[in-house]
Chains A and B, each alone.
Chain A
Amino acid sequence: MAQDSVFINCPFDAEFDGLRNAMVFAVYDCGFRPRCALESANAHEYRFEKIKKMIKESRFGIHDISRTELDATNNLPRFNMPLELGLFIGAMSYGSRSVKDKSLLILDREQYRYQKYISDISGQDIRAHLNCERTLIKCVRDWLHSECKGTVRLPGGTYIADRYEQFKARLPALCAKVRCQVHELTFVDYSNLASEWAASHPLN
């Protein structure tokens, strides 16, 4: 199991792009490696199998359940995120010794909203990002910092959020250099640019 891998469980729709991009950037800028089902385009591998493999391989997990809500068309709840959260908690509980040693962060858009639909997760580390990219970055940074247990120094959440704003402002120019549009970036493409930008811009 990779000690620096962070499994990211969040919506993949365009409406969530901003929060997901902020999350991926924050994970890289804290010195960790985000993993997501979107990173592999291998159609022969079922998505759920990919997710199980990534959970097994990742020491950490960020689970954003803020879009657990009724679908406007079907009037049914979107439950992929809680399902993957349950899988992660199951791995922590029943996995082999090498797989059990995990830590997770649960994010929602309001602090106690989860109590109305998934109250059994009370007692886990649940934080509210208020649909705000800067708040989400601070949540991710503070959690990863506590997980580092003093072995590595991280800049503060506001500092990383400022760096993310700088990166976001230069993203169209970066995309132009690699001959694509911002909306065309895949998860891996975005990760590549975020990782290289963070590595090339030393912390002051």
Chain B
Amino acid sequence: MAKVSAKGTGRSVKTGQYAAHPRTVPMRTVKPAPSTGSFSREEARAAVLAVMREDSKKAP
């Protein structure tokens, strides 16, 4: 756990408390594809989720 300082990171001189949510570099966010294909984004998402559900049922 990161320490809290006056600037938000490191240990605070005054309080000595630790930050519950340390400041970190964010993970990347996946961008959506164009919406001009043979099927919509919603259909693509539904297909991915359906296959994930099937895979999880097969898992031991």
Contact = CB atoms under 8 A, between A and B. Distances in A.
A191 interface: yes
A159 B30 CA distance: 16
Nearest to B50: A177
A180 interface: yes
A31 B47 contact: no
A152 B41 contact: no
B60 interface: no
B36 A188 contact: yes
Given A177-B47, A186-B37, A200-B45, A151 B31 contact: no
* Residues of A in contact with B, size category: 35 or more
A143 interface: no
* Residues of B in contact with A, size category: 20 to 34
A33 B30 CA distance: 8
A137 B49 CA distance: 25
Interface core residue of B34, B39, B52 (most chain A CB under 10 Å): B34
Interface of A: 4, 28-33, 39-41, 150-154, 170, 173-174, 177-178, 180, 186, 188-189, 191-201, 203
22 contacts: A29-B28, A32-B31, A39-B34, A40-B36, A150-B25, A152-B26, A153-B27, A174-B47, A174-B48, A178-B44, A178-B47, A186-B38, A188-B33, A188-B34, A189-B37, A191-B37, A192-B33, A192-B39, A192-B41, A196-B47, A200-B45, A203-B27
Interface of B: 24-34, 36-39, 41, 43-52, 54-55
